[in-house]
Structure 1
Amino acid sequence: MAPPAHRAKKKQAPQEAIDEFWSKFTTKTPGKATTVIPHNEYAEKAARRSNKAVETLTQSSYEEAAAVCRAKVDKIVKECRRVNQKYRDPHFDLELDLKWGGRDTLESLCNTKETPASTFKPKSVKRVVDIFDKPKFYIDGPSANDVRQGRDGDCWLLAALCTLSNKPSLIERVCVARDEQVGVYGFVFHRDGEWISEIIDDKLFLTKPDFDESFLERMLWEDRERVNSEEQYRKAYQSGSGALYFAQCEHADETWLPLLEKAYAKAHGDYAAIEGGFTGEGIEDLTGGVTTELYTTDILDKEYFWREELMKVNDEFLFGCSTGMWGGTCWGERKGIVELHAYSVMRAVELDGQRLVLLKNPWGKGEWKGAWSDGSKEWTADWLLKLNHRFGDDGNFWISYDDLLRKYQAFDRTRLFGPEWKVASLWTTFSVPWTLDYHDTYFTFTLAKTGPVVIVLSQLDDRYYRGLEGQYQFELNFRLHKKGQEGYVVRSISPYCQNRSVNVELKLEAGDYVVLLKVNATRNLEILPIEEVIRNNARQRRDKLVAVGMSYDLAHSKGKVIETPEEKQAKKDAEKRKKDKEREEFRKQIMDDRRAEHDRIVKDRKKRKERRAKAKSKERARKAKKAAKAKAKEEAKRKRREDASAGEKHVQIISPRQTPEPDTASKNLPSELSETDTTVKTPPSTDSNKPTAVEAEVSKEKAASETEPKHERLGDLPSPFPPVADAPPTTVLTPPSPSLEAAKSEDSTHAVAGSEGRPPPSRELSEDDFDDEGDSDDSSDESDISSVSEISDGELDMELRQRAPPLPNNGLPPPPRAEVPVGAAAQDSEDEFESDPWNAVVTVGLRVYYKVSSEDQEKDIVKLKVVRPSAWAKEDENEHGSGEDGEEEDKDKKEGEDGAGGEGKEGEEGEMDKKAKSSMGLDVDDSSKDATLEGDREQRKKSILSLIPPRD
């Protein structure tokens, strides 16, 4: 079979081809789905609550969430006691899920074309009182030694719990309320800048099936005589912490860890959602702190890092460390240190010239085998007493500071906030272009008092709606500028792994600041778009989609844009200006068409006039020549008769029909010839059907005019005047009288200003308006032609109504969808980027933490707002000649989610921002920066030096 013929590519200049590609690459309608659940009124309420900047003490959000959590538990306890039933969580029911094979508590929504096989295979579900003989939530308090990882890949979370156990009361703050008899437990977690509560029952997954439900297990167990096989089976396989499928405490009857892990899994949707992560993110979720990702190779002053940071562990900071941060290292170990694994930093001490760090493996086993490991030569009885250390494979081991820096590539440092810290936060949503640069949307804040601050830029935690993340991943960066200064104060360092947030910690003077945002988006086409995931799961996994979709909706409600009254008025004014502009352009186009039609008719009239004058001149010359010949002939005859009469006398007889009468000859001539030469006698024509010379010339003129091409009208709108047909060739046009012209003008004016305001019907122009016939060529000029009248408002409205597009398919149901072309046909019909263009939209939030004294706790120290580009303002700029730059800036800005509800407008920031933005564009270490500098050498040098913050 011959290959399909491809459509020939159109020839384009290289720049035209590139411009066309980019025009198709980016979507013309940027946007993002902000709600999965249809008509979600809960998300609307959350959006109204969080669309303004919130300033509060860091403890206030926790205390509010904790109070709500306790109230929930109290209500459930009363309800259960009223009906004499234990609590069963209908939103996260492990037993129902396992027995019916739903797996909603185990597996996330699939967002890939092929569904991966699940690795979770628990065999049974039992309540805490049925698993543990003497269950206790805490036994001697929560500690790192309690932690044992189960079959979930959440070592990062367990490492975070180990780290929290070093500081008293941190884990107790997470486990807020419980009633062990009813079987209800309440926990709080930090999510996207605020605390949330989560309620669970006491059901847990087990590794072995129930005795009555597994024939194979029962047969193997009953291979010998037992007093009570079922009870012994339960004690052996379904009793104590060792029977749990997921995380477990070291003590056989302690329960806090598996229940906390279950609550954390429910908060994120399922157990699969908490597989894989970073210790720093886990510490943030459990403490509300701010984590910075530090890399060993980036530490500038290792002495400062030891004294001012690592030695303050469990006080101002919490630390975790990890290996294999690039993800390419295979599983294995290096002297007992496991690759691709997270550890907790428990202590840091400096004794007798030795700098030592105590680490914890959340597995509860597997330790370092180098210097200062258990049993190494460095240990003496004195050192064992000083460090209160005991040997044993329990996951706790000491390592020197130098070996720590050599063996671990990354540290997670989490800043803890006490009651002396306050925070202001605000969220927004904007479109991220393919080009990487600082965006037009940015944050500003005013600091009323000098002091230490922590600035955090974060995106939504998509772990809470796993499966609905979409195809785009975002990497965050920002730069801090002091208003009025060209240079920046500081910029964030982009992390390699933890992309959920970036932050800087520094001391700032009081003043106004600008935070420029740079978001780098990458697209993974192997991930399905959110709309396809919803379509694939709407029928078969409705409950799961509802639960995860609600988390998605509530998260995105933070950045939902609500227009302010000023923005609504600006939008209304801009739409009116746009409508007026289109109306005037349409009016101008109609008048241009009318003038073009008028000019065409005038031109045609002149051509006809010239052709007729030429024909008349030729006819006169021919008639004069013919008359002269006839006269000469008569003269010759007369002369012959005279000569004959001179020779002999004779009688001349004249036939009555030989010579035509004068009035008969004049009937066959034009009036011009009959009036100018009445003496010429033309013999009668022998053929009565033969046209006269004038009629032949006029017929010839008509044939020539019919072969001329029709006039092409300007623009794509229908002309208000149809073409004028030529008059019959025998019709003689006479110029209209002045009285007739006045009557016509009066009638036209009267029709326009009708009693009901209706537009007059379109009048076709005729030859009567352009009569050029006359005895003299100079007797008719431009004054004989009617002028082009201005279109009235009524006519314009009627044309606009006719121009409006009709309803699709005349209001009928839409036709069936056409088949999508594939292969070569798809290439010919639509460009691949045009069918699936770039459309990255991100929701980000800025939090500013600052320390206050006790007397300043009631004062607002930070005023935070977001500044978004106004699509309507830029529209005005483009109308006033902003040029290509204005049009480019206006691109991708008109979208429902884009405007941030009432936080700030570009106009409020004044001219300084526009001026400063032009000089803030590129980083100082960007190689393109040099080419953008303006002025002489000294001025360019000053621009570079101004980017360097002054030294203290």
Structure 2
Amino acid sequence: MSDLPSRAVSEADYMLGRDGDGDDDAIGQTIMAELPVTISLPRKKDTDKTPQQTIDEFWSKFTTKAPGKATTVIPSNEYAERAARRSNKAVGTTTQASFEEAAAVCKAKVAKIVKECRRVNQKYRDPHFDLELDLKWGVRDTLEMLCNMQGEKAGSGFHPKSVKRVTDVFDVPKFYIDGPTANDVRQGRDGDCWLLAALCTLSNKPSLIERVCVARDEQVGVYGFVFHRDGEWISEIIDDKLFLTKPDFDESVLERLLWEDRERVDSEEQYRKAYQSGSGALYFAQCEHANETWLPLLEKAYAKAHGDYQAIEGGFTGEGIEDLTGGVTTELYAADILDKEYFWKEELMKVNDEFLFGCSTGMWGAVWGERKGIVELHAYSIMRAVEMDGKRLLLLKNPWGKFEWRGPWSDGSKEWTAEWLTKLDHKFGDDGNFWISYEDLLRKYQAFDRTRLFGPDWKITSIWTTVSVPWTLDYHDTYFKFSLAKTGPVVLVLSQLDTRYYRGLEGQYRFELNFRLHKEGEEDYVVRSIAPYRQTRSVNVELELEAGEYTVLIKVNATRDLGIIPIEEVIRNYARDRRDKLVAVGMSYVFPVYHPHGLRRGPDAHSKGKMVETKEEKEAKKAAEKRKADKEKEKLRKQEMLYDRDSHYLKVKAHQKLKEKKEKVKAKQKAKKAAKGATSEPQAGIEDKKVSETPAPEDKTSDAAQTGENTKAAPEIAVSTEPKVDDGASSSKPGESETKDDPSPEAKDVPPPATEAPEQAAEGEEPKTAPAPPSEPQKQPAEEEKEAESSDDESTISSVSDMTEREWDIRYRRRPRTPPPVAPQPQQATAEEEDEFESNPWNAVATVGLRVYYKVAEEDRDKEIVKLRVIRPNPYAKKGGGESESEGEEGEEKGKEGKTSKGLDVDDSAKDATLEGDRDQRRKSIMSSTRPAL
């Protein structure tokens, strides 16, 4: 570290832009040459700020100035870019179309693999989800997800001992034995009871489970499944390898020694039959029948679709049913049911028809209460609902296959008679199936997952967008609009991306969704979504809507967990050591789903949120850039004019000083000669003639002294008492230099090179770079000699007090912008502490989508009933001009007015302050347009 200059810089020199050594170098230049740029002073508390200023400064640091989100996390993002370039227009289609397309793609994949394997006489081995390679080499990519928790390491607690194919585990393997049923389901060592409960629920409705597995070749060992994901169906291909609980006979010395403690006919074969044969040998889910295979293979396909077995631990039955059926799940709470009679007749009694139901208890997880055999924090399936002989009873299923309800109507309770056993076709046994009364169901279970199923008479239109979520919770400026051509039942679903598909890369923010529906022309909203406590993946509302135009305002609540590592750090942590895992998860994070016919209804994952500028937005952006350029040009013109006027004034003043100086020198010379006496009259005449005919040396160097260059002297400029005001039309710009080849009249007024701008006189404008103050003219040797001879006379240099007020103003505007440096003490030479909110600001960005389900008649199948679009604020639109949307333009003022009037909910305490008029008018503004939710 270099030392500071030892000389002190006076305040006067600093104000004049001098560094104290007699020349006119800008002080800032001297400092840059001698001060190290690494010096920073410790932060000092500003006691002059008001509390409001302190708060405003905090919020300015709290939120990032450039909100954004990573949409690609792996190098190869060609597919995501291609998806972003496609049309953002929402296309309506039947709810079955997406499934049929995904099923067709899945069948084509399986057929191609089968053909390939038969060609080389090899069974299929899945290179992207190879259990055997994973276990033998200890990679654990199929078992463990990427860890993104601070201070923790990846680990799942899963410890399978071996891997074998289905044909090596099952003696006579059958995918289905009497079809898939709830009694087949047995949970393994994975915490996916929610998924298995969903499968139990699906088994009540024929063909629901069968259509999930759309293609298979058991001899080759390849299976194709389809799952519903973010509003689209996707396909997944797996091989038939499964994890087992016991190691192979030859690979475990301990197991072999224990087994061979006595003589056996064939120890290895008996070991295999005892520990590695049948469903009971599997590490994860298993069927009740020893030779049935559909459940463990479906669970494996579902785990692969989400990355690994750990990723499917913990969840909700309703979400599992959505993923397996494409339905829409609503989270209901027993305490919130308004009409229990309606809930029984119109909802529970329609189980396995229009709805599927799951239930759970102990949702808060705070304490373990006594619920007579019902396991808390565990998912159950509602299999049947019957009303018979004045009794309302429901059949429930525990996916564990054991642990049942011990209250009224449980196995062996006093309520059972031979007649009731026959009517309900029930058999006692600890198999996980039990009956419970409607009253006890509402008393013992706190939450219900109701999934609406869609038949071929339903259509869907969807679109996605990305919003920056502020810390302050409010409805966003980005919203959805749709038009409904016919009155009918509608299901609105606002959803976010399913983060389970890319666990480890979900980021620090957790989002909760809400929306509000408005009808065009009505002041109050139609209905609001009810935010769920647990299932935050989506919110929905089901109601009857009249034909018309509707607006859906969205409200996203973000919470941040600093204990989670940001995405960019996770990528750095695993890019070297777990490349294959990072690529696999990154593909789910990024890549899209395509329509087979080339139409994009909505890409998958974060490529959905990529904004593609519309024609209107491009035009508005171009106009905004032009306005900005025009403004900067006008500002520059004013600065240049001010610069030219100031430079001209200083030149005139300098020229006047030089002229006065010459006259003083001549007067001194004449005075000296007069004092000595004229000894030779002709010689004196010759001297006077030389003085009069020869230009003063100052004239030749005046301009060069100002520009700092040894160039040819420009013609002498006219002297006036006031500087001439230039209109800027012919003035030269700073930085242009006089040249010998350009003796034009304009060249003589070229200002000196800019070192710092004069401060802009107009209020609110920033100063530009301006030249340093002109230095004193250089002295010729003859003149210096003459001045030396007259050193006892009056000084020829003007004092500072001779400067005019305007000269002081110009000097002030050209002063250095940095304060004079102070040499830091050794103990003060510490790095400035960085503000924690400035270094890691709030940057919550969510990708959300709206799906509109609507029922259509047969004759309306080919008609466009719903037109859906996203309206987002145009950052380039001129204030008071227009707001661009994906399908057109609307006035910005109109949008602002609508947003202001709809910004607060009716039960928001702050809404009272926004009401206008007298008491009756205020009451009318709340009551007149309110409509009940259906």
TM range (shorter): 0.7 to 0.9
Cα distance change of structure 1 residues 402 and 847 upon mapping to structure 2, 3 Å threshold? same
1:102 and 2:122 aligned: no
Please name the residue that 1:147 is paired with.
185
1:872 and 2:876 aligned: yes
Please name the residue that 2:786 is paired with.
none
Residues 168-211 of structure 1: CA distance to partner in whole angstroms, max 9, x if unpaired? 10000101111101101111000000100111000000000000
Counterpart mapping for 1:682-701 below 5 A: none
Output the CA distance in 1 between the equivalents of 2:320 and 2:70: 28
Cα distance change of structure 1 residues 300 and 764 upon mapping to structure 2, 3 Å threshold? closer
Cα distance change of structure 1 residues 724 and 854 upon mapping to structure 2, 3 Å threshold? closer
Please name the residue that 1:856 is paired with.
860
Output the CA distance in 1 between the equivalents of 2:122 and 2:88: 42
Contact kept in structure 2, 1:444 and 1:515, CA below 8 Å: yes
Please name the residue that 1:79 is paired with.
116
Match of 2:474 among 437, 442, 446: 437
Cα distance change of structure 1 residues 910 and 112 upon mapping to structure 2, 3 Å threshold? closer
Cα distance change of structure 1 residues 278 and 124 upon mapping to structure 2, 3 Å threshold? same
Cα distance change of structure 1 residues 950 and 223 upon mapping to structure 2, 3 Å threshold? closer
Contact kept in structure 1, 2:495 and 2:537, CA below 8 Å: yes
Counterpart mapping for 1:300-379 below 5 A: 300-330=338-368, 334-379=371-416
Contact kept in structure 2, 1:345 and 1:358, CA below 8 Å: yes
Report the CA distance between 1:756 and its aligned residue: 14
- Aligned residue for 1:922, secondary structure, equals coil
1:489 and 2:472 aligned: no
- When Rg is computed on C-alpha atoms for both structures, the one with the higher figure is 1
Output the CA distance in 1 between the equivalents of 2:68 and 2:705: 46
1:298 and 2:348 aligned: no
Output the CA distance in 1 between the equivalents of 2:289 and 2:164: 18
1:21 and 2:4 aligned: no
Aligned length: 768
Cα distance change of structure 1 residues 225 and 747 upon mapping to structure 2, 3 Å threshold? closer
- Aligned residue for 1:829, secondary structure, equals coil
Please name the residue that 1:197 is paired with.
235
Please name the residue that 1:933 is paired with.
915
1:544 and 2:531 aligned: no
Please name the residue that 1:58 is paired with.
95
Residues 68-103 of structure 1: CA distance to partner in whole angstroms, max 9, x if unpaired? 111111111111111111111101000010001110
Cα distance change of structure 1 residues 443 and 392 upon mapping to structure 2, 3 Å threshold? same
Please name the residue that 2:448 is paired with.
411
Report the CA distance between 1:5 and its aligned residue: 11
Match of 1:500 among 515, 531, 537: 537
Please name the residue that 2:750 is paired with.
763
Report the CA distance between 1:548 and its aligned residue: 0.5
Cα distance change of structure 1 residues 79 and 762 upon mapping to structure 2, 3 Å threshold? farther
Counterpart mapping for 1:740-889 below 5 A: 760=747, 763=750, 828-873=832-877, 876-877=878-879
How big is the alpha-carbon RMSD for the aligned residues of Structure 1 and Structure 2? 3.8
Match of 1:514 among 551, 555, 567: 551
Match of 1:903 among 869, 872, 886: 886
1:46 and 2:83 aligned: yes
Letter in structure 1 aligned against 2:910: S
- Of the structure 1 ranges 27-36 and 587-596, higher mean CA displacement relative to structure 2 is found in 587-596
Please name the residue that 2:127 is paired with.
90
Contact kept in structure 2, 1:437 and 1:921, CA below 8 Å: yes
1:921 and 2:925 aligned: no
Contact kept in structure 2, 1:868 and 1:904, CA below 8 Å: no
Please name the residue that 2:617 is paired with.
567
Please name the residue that 2:926 is paired with.
944
Counterpart mapping for 1:372-771 below 5 A: 372-554=409-591, 555-596=605-646, 760=747, 763=750
- Aligned residue for 2:128, secondary structure, equals coil
Output the CA distance in 2 between the equivalents of 1:604 and 1:940: 73
Cα distance change of structure 1 residues 603 and 104 upon mapping to structure 2, 3 Å threshold? same
Output the CA distance in 2 between the equivalents of 1:201 and 1:243: 18
Output the CA distance in 2 between the equivalents of 1:354 and 1:737: 113
Identity of aligned residues (%): 74
Match of 1:37 among 34, 49, 74: 74
Please name the residue that 2:763 is paired with.
none
Unaligned runs of 5+ in 2: 1-39, 592-604, 678-702, 709-715, 753-773, 777-803, 805-827
User: Which structure dedicates a bigger proportion of its chain to helix?
Assistant: 1
Output the CA distance in 1 between the equivalents of 2:730 and 2:120: 91
Cα distance change of structure 1 residues 381 and 593 upon mapping to structure 2, 3 Å threshold? same
Contact kept in structure 1, 2:148 and 2:570, CA below 8 Å: yes
Please name the residue that 2:285 is paired with.
247
- Aligned residue for 2:209, secondary structure, equals helix
1:130 and 2:203 aligned: no
Residues 508-536 of structure 1: CA distance to partner in whole angstroms, max 9, x if unpaired? 00000000010000110000000000000
Please name the residue that 2:687 is paired with.
none
Report the CA distance between 1:737 and its aligned residue: 9.8
Report the CA distance between 1:755 and its aligned residue: 10
Residues 485-519 of structure 1: CA distance to partner in whole angstroms, max 9, x if unpaired? 22100010000000000000000000000000100
Letter in structure 1 aligned against 2:442: L
Output the CA distance in 2 between the equivalents of 1:756 and 1:381: 122
Letter in structure 1 aligned against 2:457: E
Residues 603-629 of structure 1: CA distance to partner in whole angstroms, max 9, x if unpaired? 9999999x99xxx9xxxxxxxxxxxxx
Cα distance change of structure 1 residues 477 and 77 upon mapping to structure 2, 3 Å threshold? same
Contact kept in structure 2, 1:50 and 1:558, CA below 8 Å: no
Output the CA distance in 1 between the equivalents of 2:236 and 2:720: 95
Letter in structure 2 aligned against 1:763: V
Report the CA distance between 1:736 and its aligned residue: 5.1
Q: TM-score if structure 1 supplies the norm length?
A: 0.75
Contact kept in structure 2, 1:51 and 1:559, CA below 8 Å: no
Cα distance change of structure 1 residues 137 and 570 upon mapping to structure 2, 3 Å threshold? same
Letter in structure 1 aligned against 2:229: R
Cα distance change of structure 1 residues 665 and 521 upon mapping to structure 2, 3 Å threshold? closer
Output the CA distance in 2 between the equivalents of 1:270 and 1:933: 54
Output the CA distance in 1 between the equivalents of 2:153 and 2:720: 89
- Aligned residue for 2:92, secondary structure, equals strand
Cα distance change of structure 1 residues 600 and 290 upon mapping to structure 2, 3 Å threshold? same
Residues 561-613 of structure 1: CA distance to partner in whole angstroms, max 9, x if unpaired? 1112332232122112212211211221232344455667889999999x99x
Please name the residue that 2:246 is paired with.
208
Contact kept in structure 1, 2:194 and 2:314, CA below 8 Å: yes
- Aligned residue for 2:550, secondary structure, equals strand
- Aligned residue for 2:227, secondary structure, equals strand
Cα distance change of structure 1 residues 17 and 84 upon mapping to structure 2, 3 Å threshold? same
Please name the residue that 2:765 is paired with.
none
Contact kept in structure 2, 1:721 and 1:763, CA below 8 Å: no
Output the CA distance in 2 between the equivalents of 1:354 and 1:458: 39
1:284 and 2:284 aligned: no
Letter in structure 1 aligned against 2:195: L
Cα distance change of structure 1 residues 950 and 496 upon mapping to structure 2, 3 Å threshold? closer
Cα distance change of structure 1 residues 24 and 226 upon mapping to structure 2, 3 Å threshold? same
Residues 818-842 of structure 1: CA distance to partner in whole angstroms, max 9, x if unpaired? xxxxx9967x332110011010110
Letter in structure 2 aligned against 1:224: R
Q: TM-score if structure 2 supplies the norm length?
A: 0.77
Output the CA distance in 2 between the equivalents of 1:132 and 1:436: 56
Letter in structure 2 aligned against 1:903: S
Contact kept in structure 2, 1:221 and 1:229, CA below 8 Å: yes
- Aligned residue for 1:54, secondary structure, equals coil
Report the CA distance between 1:944 and its aligned residue: 1.6
Contact kept in structure 1, 2:107 and 2:215, CA below 8 Å: yes
Letter in structure 1 aligned against 2:864: D
Cα distance change of structure 1 residues 316 and 599 upon mapping to structure 2, 3 Å threshold? same
